[in-house]
Amino acid sequence: MREYDLSAAHWRKSSYSDQNGGNCIEVADNFPVVPVRDSKTPHGPALVFPAAGWTTFVDAVKNSHFADA
């Protein structure tokens, strides 16, 4: 698997994160993949997903496909 240098990435919290600094995921833009990390550990590891797979996952969450999981 290819490695990506994320040291200069601009991370943003999910729009569903609460505004009180609640823990959430962060994503970085402008990569050919979608890097995702835990906001509680910003210097920890990031998971990297193919853009199409991430889009499918987000659409499934938005459509409540995981509500009973």
Instruction: Give Cα 12 to chain centroid, integer Å.
Output: 9
Strands, E, within 1-60: which ranges?
11-13, 25-28, 33-38, 46-50
Backbone angles phi, psi at 23, to 5 degrees: -75, 140
Provide the residue-wise pLDDT of the chain in tens; the chain has 69 residues: 678 899 999 999 877 666 666 678 899 999 999 999 998 888 999 999 999 999 999 899 888 877 665
- Predicted confidence at residue 18, as pLDDT, reads 66
- Predicted confidence at residue 14, as pLDDT, reads 75
**Domain boundaries along the sequence of the chain:** 11-62
- Predicted confidence at residue 34, as pLDDT, reads 95
Could you tell me the strand order of the sheet in which 11-13 lies? 11-13, 25-28, 33-38, 46-50
| Helix ranges, the chain (H) | 51-62
